[in-house]
Structure 1
Amino acid sequence: MPAAALKPKPLPVQSTAKRPVLLELPCAPVEKRPLPPGRPREWYVTHNRRLKAMRLAIALLDSGVYHPSQARNDTIHGAAELIGVHPPSDTTCHMVRALMRYSR
């Protein structure tokens, strides 16, 4: 008996070409909640700056900027304009590069 006859047949595999594959599902934004009252003003400023830096870092990564050395201030300002947020300060740009550095 030939050896090929002894091998079990592979299970049928469904090709993904026959149906569309969704890589990113659109998602609804998270419901906004008020920030906790009673904190010092600096806490709110820092909190909002971190959120903005995170949004910008994600936008840069989505656009193909993967290294902090590629994320110059003008690149970050372009990403801010693209996603519709106010132009970031130099401190926020520095924070964006730090987020990209530490995510590796």
Structure 2
Amino acid sequence: MPAAALKPKPLPTQSTARRAVQLDLPYAPVLKSPLPAGRPREWYISHNRRLKAMRLAIALLDSGVFLPGQARNETIRDAARLIGVHPPSDTTCHMVRALMKYSR
């Protein structure tokens, strides 16, 4: 018997599954470390906005939304509710779509 026949078949990933693979819940965020002190307030706001946009983009990609055109504000806010973060602003929703566009 060939060695390839003895290997177990891997579980389908999002890219090989016939339908969307559900998010693994419950979502457990990584441990947070304190941000560096002494920066302007605008830096902290934009930093946290970028982190939130990345989390939302990953959640959307995991749920089967691959194109920025599919990610309307309502879809992004539903993903935020699903992973347990505050609803994003219109600016953050725009940033999520931009991240999805540049990841291709």
TM bracket (short chain): 0.7 to 0.9
Q: CA deviation at 1:15?
A: 3.2
- Scaled by the length of structure 1, the TM-score of the pair is 0.77
Q: 1:13 to 1:79 in 2, by over 3 A?
A: same
Match of 2:95 in 1: 95
In structure 2, distance between residues paired with 1:12 and 1:68: 39
**Unmatched runs of 5 consecutive residues or more in structure 1:** 1-8
Q: Find out whether 1:54 has 2:46 as its counterpart.
A: no
The alignment of Structure 1 onto Structure 2 pairs a total of residues equal to 93
Q: CA deviation at 1:33?
A: 1.1
Q: CA deviation at 1:10?
A: 5.0
Instruction: Give the secondary structure class of the aligned counterpart of 1:78.
Output: helix
Match of 1:15 in 2: 7
In structure 2, distance between residues paired with 1:61 and 1:12: 31
- Scaled by the length of structure 2, the TM-score of the pair is 0.77
The alignment-based identity, stated in percent, is: 74
Match of 2:67 in 1: 67
Match of 1:43 in 2: 43
Structure with the greater alpha carbon radius of gyration: 1
Match of 1:84 in 2: 84
Q: How big is each residue's C-alpha offset from its partner over 1:10-41, in whole Å with a ceiling of 9 and x where there is no partner?
A: 55741316xx86x7xxxx75332110000000
In structure 2, distance between residues paired with 1:55 and 1:69: 18
> Quick one: which amino acid aligns to residue 49 of structure 2?
R
The alignment's C-alpha RMSD in Å is 2.8
> Quick one: which amino acid aligns to residue 64 of structure 2?
G
Q: 1:11 to 1:87 in 2, by over 3 A?
A: closer
Q: 1:15 to 1:35 in 2, by over 3 A?
A: same
In structure 2, distance between residues paired with 1:49 and 1:59: 15
Instruction: Give the secondary structure class of the aligned counterpart of 1:97.
Output: helix
In structure 2, distance between residues paired with 1:92 and 1:16: 42
**Unmatched runs of 5 consecutive residues or more in structure 2:** 14-27
In structure 2, distance between residues paired with 1:84 and 1:38: 29
